[in-house]
């Protein structure tokens, strides 16, 4: 392994910092879905499966409009922030990002308000739900601004501030749901209104702090450069949206609303696979531009890929083995059929996370256009799969197409990034992860358990077996084993018997 250049932290110190930052970022990443899961009993008690399907579709329509009209503008902040070391230059990057996001948010709001009826007819086949869509899109300006402010906090390594902002976003939305849905019975209106509140409060809190720290300024030429960098990212994000949520637009024409509601709930649960990876990615996506300038960048990349796949595997296994008892515990019995869809969606999003990590190399190299092309290859295959499989298999066809698309994106990203700049992987260790995961899933399928308590007990055992298999397969390197022994020793030393 190459040594880090003078002035850079050692690889050991860097990994320690990454783990600490990822642990901090994991708090809001896990808090948000936990809060969402806690809201499931309230939501499913007040919304019918058909209403739940409408709400999920409205959310994705709003996301699509955001991608089309500038919602990803703030994604360029890291590339330009680390392109200069001057305080004034970085302040100009931050200010331009914020004002640019606000500008695109206003454009999104105006267009959606004017064309809301046409959008509703396109999505639902009739002029319904226009009011809900317009209320939801009122959150465009604060949402775009909040993303930029949180992006600034991450690139500036303001970890506590990032934590506060993200927790505010989650908690504000949950409190609003409780007030508007549980007490005022506003149902769909309460849900869409809670989204607006959830992004407005952190924007109001974070902006004054950012102003005092950076004295942000706007740069016209910089705005054009950032918009040019953003454009391929936004176009690529649109492709990812087609993969993630384009199925909802087609499902409405071939599948009953109740089945779509089950699929939407399963999708929300299956997507939790990305939680642990996102905790790492919140750090990586902001700091990768700086880290990949190091002399030992490729060795670091190989090791981080191994760790990232390990982070993805654990929640993926957990969601698969606990899907049935979780839905039984959280949702109304009308939603029990959603458990069948969770495993395939969880696996699909595990594959997507690995693809995301490889695709980050496009942005580091300053080629966001390559990233967009990679995503659109997957999107084209995915839409073709939706059109072919959904009319034949309904929601199952949508799930099959999603898996195929993410596999395609991963394959293209691995090949193209290697041609752009060769990399290496820790192949032997990755094979061991695959063997351990296959063994656990094989045991789960071979011995189904019917009772609720039995499912919980068996799932707990299987999740615990996974790291044990990795240890037996000698997955950890010797330094990692020594580090684990040292951590365990320190932990045991702190546990003293009461005298």
Q: Which tens digits make up the pLDDT trace of 240-293? A: 777 777 787 788 788 887 888 888 888 888 888 888 888 888 888 888 888 888
Is residue 92 within 8 Å of 109, Cβ to Cβ? no
Q: Is residue 203 part of a domain?
A: yes
Beta-carbon contacts of residue 312 (< 8 Å; ≥ 6 apart)? 273, 274, 276, 277, 350, 353, 354
Residue with tokens 């709930």: 265
Q: Specify whether the CB–CB gap between 323 and 458 falls below 8 A.
A: no
Q: What is the Cα–Cα distance from 356 to 439, expressed in whole angstroms?
A: 26
Domain presence at residue 448: no
Residue 119 to residue 495: CA distance in whole angstroms = 61
Distance CA 82, CA 441 (A): 43
Any domain includes 3:
no
Arithmetic mean of pLDDT, 166-189:
84
Instruction: Please give the average per-residue pLDDT across 333-345, as a whole number.
Output: 87
- Judge contact between 200 and 142, C-beta under 8 A: yes
Question: What's this model's pTM, rounded to 2 decimal places?
Answer: 0.73
Cβ contacts of 171 within 8 Å, gap of 6 or more: 31, 35
- The C-alpha atoms of residue 122 and residue 99 are separated, in whole angstroms, by 31
Confidence of residue 6 (pLDDT cuts 50, 70, 90): very low
CA torsion sign for 82, 88, 93, 95 is positive
> What is the per-residue burial (b if ≥16 Cβ within 10 Å, else e) of 64-83?
bbbbebbbbbbbbbbbbbbe
Nearest to 459 by CA among 377, 343, 345, 354: 343
Does 118 score more than 70 pLDDT? yes
| Angle of the 427-446 helix axis to the 452-472 helix axis, nearest 10 | 150
Residue pLDDT, tens place only, 11-66: 777 887 788 888 888 888 777 777 777 777 777 777 776 777 777 777 777 777 77
Gyration radius of the chain over CA positions: 23
Grade residue 495 by pLDDT with cuts at 50, 70 and 90: low
Confidence of residue 302 (pLDDT cuts 50, 70, 90): very high
Q: Which pair of tokens denotes residue 380?
A: 């084209």
Report if residue 410 sits inside a domain. yes
**What domain count does the chain have?**
1
Query: Could you tell me which residues come within 8 angstroms of residue 352 by beta carbon, excluding any fewer than 6 positions away?
Result: 274, 406, 409, 410
Please report the pLDDT score of residue 71 as a whole number. Answer: 65
What's the average model confidence in pLDDT over 185-205? 87
Any domain includes 441? no
Where residue 451 falls among pLDDT bands split at 50, 70, 90? confident
CA distance 277 to 220: 35
Return d(Cα 301, Cα 359) in angstroms, integer.
Answer: 12
CB 105 within 8 A of CB 140: yes
Question: Within a domain: residue 4?
Answer: no
Q: What is the phi/psi pair of residue 179, to 5°?
A: -70, -50
> For residues 491 and 476, what is the distance between their CA atoms, to the nearest angstrom?
20
Q: Which domain, by its residues, includes 43?
A: 11-425
- Cα of first residue to Cα of last residue in the chain, in angstroms, is 49
Instruction: Say how far apart CA 5 and CA 17 lie, in whole Å.
Output: 17
- 485 in a structural domain: no
d(Cα 271, Cα 250) in Å, to the nearest integer? 20
In a domain, 361, yes or no: yes
Q: Is 385 helix (H, G, I), strand (E, B) or coil?
A: helix
Q: What is the spatial distance between Cα 450 and Cα 68, in angstroms, rounded to a whole number?
A: 46
> DSSP assignment of 295-347, as one string?
TTHHHHHHHHHHHHHHHHHHHHHHHHHHHHHHHHHHS-GGGGGGGGGHHHHHH
């Amino acid at each position: 392994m190459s040594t880090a250049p003078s002035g850079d932290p050692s690889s050991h110190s860097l990994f320690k910092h990454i783990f600490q930052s990822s642990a901090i970022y994991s708090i809001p990443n896990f808090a948000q879905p936990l809060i969402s899961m806690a809201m499931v009993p309230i939501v499913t008690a007040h919304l019918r499966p058909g209403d739940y399907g409408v709400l999920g579709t409205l959310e994705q329509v709003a996301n699509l409009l955001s991608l089309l009209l500038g919602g990803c503008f703030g994604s360029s902040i890291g590339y330009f922030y680390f392109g200069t070391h001057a305080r004034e230059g970085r302040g100009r990057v931050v200010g331009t990002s914020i004002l640019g996001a606000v500008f695109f948010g206003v454009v999104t709001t105006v267009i959606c308000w004017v064309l809301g009826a046409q959008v509703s007819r396109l999505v639902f086949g009739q002029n319904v739900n226009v009011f809900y869509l317009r209320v939801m899109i009122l959150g465009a300006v604060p949402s775009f601004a909040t993303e930029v402010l949180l992006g600034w906090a991450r690139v500036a390594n303001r970890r506590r501030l990032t934590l506060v902002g993200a927790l505010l976003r989650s908690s504000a939305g949950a409190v609003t749901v409780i007030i508007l849905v549980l007490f005022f019975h506003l149902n769909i209106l309460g849900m869409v209104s809670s989204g607006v509140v959830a992004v407005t409060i952190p924007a109001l809190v974070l902006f004054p702090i950012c102003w005092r720290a950076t004295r942000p300024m706007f740069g016209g030429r910089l705005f054009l450069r950032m918009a040019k960098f953003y454009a391929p990212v936004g176009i690529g994000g649109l492709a990812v949206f087609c993969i993630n949520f384009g199925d909802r637009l087609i499902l409405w024409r071939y599948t009953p609303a109740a089945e779509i509601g089950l699929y939407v709930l399963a999708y929300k649960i299956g997507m939790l696979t990305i939680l642990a990876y996102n905790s790492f990615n919140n750090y990586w996506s902001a700091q990768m531009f700086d880290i990949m300038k190091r002399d030992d960048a490729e060795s670091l990349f190989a090791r981080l890929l191994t760790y990232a796949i390990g982070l993805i595997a654990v929640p993926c296994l957990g969601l698969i083995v606990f899907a049935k008892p979780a839905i039984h515990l959280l949702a109304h019995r009308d939603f029990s059929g959603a458990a069948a869809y969770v495993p395939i969606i969880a696996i699909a999003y595990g594959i997507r996370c690995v693809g995301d990590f490889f695709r980050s190399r496009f942005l580091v190299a300053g080629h966001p256009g390559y990233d967009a092309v990679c995503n659109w290859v997957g999107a084209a295959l995915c839409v073709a799969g939706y059109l072919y499989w959904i009319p034949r298999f309904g929601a199952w066809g949508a799930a099959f197409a999603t898996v195929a698309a993410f596999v395609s994106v991963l394959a293209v990203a691995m090949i193209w990034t290697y041609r752009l700049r060769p990399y290496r992987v820790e192949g032997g260790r990755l094979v061991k992860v695959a063997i351990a995961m296959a063994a656990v899933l094989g045991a789960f399928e071979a011995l189904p358990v019917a009772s609720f308590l039995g499912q919980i007990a068996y799932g707990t055992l299987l999740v615990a077996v996974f790291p044990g298999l990795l240890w037996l397969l000698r997955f950890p390197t010797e330094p990692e084993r020594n580090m684990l022994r040292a951590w365990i020793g320190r932990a045991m030393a702190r546990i003293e018997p009461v005298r």
